[in-house]
Amino acid sequence: TGYILATATLLANRAIPGFAVSPTLKYIATSRIGGLPVMALVVVAAVILTAYILRYTVYGRTLSAVGQSRAAARLAGVKNGRVIAAAFIISSVLASVDGLLLGAYIGGAFLEMGQPYLLQSVAAVVLGGTLIFGGSATALGTLLASILLILIVTTMQIMGLPPGTQDMIQGTVVILVLALAGREAVTRTVRKAPEGKTEDGIALKKS
């Protein structure tokens, strides 16, 4: 799907980069307030809003329930399809906003300008404590992991490591974290259901 949309975008703009940036977006991406970048303030506001939604709203709690166990959420009356579809839509909107801000920051837009950040975005989420296999999410953890990842990437750049080596190191870190998190999740599930098997996180007691 991603390749289809990328190809359609490439054909639509004839592979011509855009350099017209909105003054408002340019201000957000490059200006400072009280010595702090406006972009950083926007990120902090987004993290606070996301944390509030995940913890204090019905949708946030429902999303966490679906992430922890789709079967249990379905038995509780949650419409899993709608919740997951809404999550994808919200993610797409946020990605679009990120693209606008990135384009304003670099002074233009082209098709693959976000390509270098794909692996880093996954790494930040995983390192922040959000399990790709499903489970609770933490906005603050993702923010802290993003800062840590920036420090790591900056250090690798200072060391003069090739981009391919940097990607390999980041990918290795993600794989290790996923392996450890997956093992911990399996162990936790087994401990919760010592009497029988488990199916999508639900204990099946012996009859």
Q: Are 133 and 181 contacting, i.e. CB atoms less than 8 angstroms apart? A: yes
Calpha distance 51→70 (Å, rounded): 22
What pLDDT was estimated at residue 203? 47
Q: Tokens in use for 84?
A: 């997951």
What pLDDT was estimated at residue 107? 79
- Type of residue at 189: T
* pTM of the predicted structure, to 2 decimals: 0.70
Q: Are 2 and 118 contacting, i.e. CB atoms less than 8 angstroms apart? A: no
CA distances from 37 to 28, 29, 34, 42, 106 (A): 8, 8, 8, 9, 15
Alpha helices in the chain (DSSP H): 2-13, 23-30, 38-56, 58-68, 70-75, 80-106, 118-127, 139-158, 163-192
Calpha distance 158→46 (Å, rounded): 30
Length of the chain: 207
Q: Tokens in use for 146?
A: 């993003």
CA distances from 43 to 37, 49, 88, 105 (A): 10, 10, 20, 14
- Rounded average pLDDT per 10-residue block, the chain, 207 residues: 66 62 80 86 91 90 86 88 92 87 80 77 80 73 87 88 84 78 59 51 45
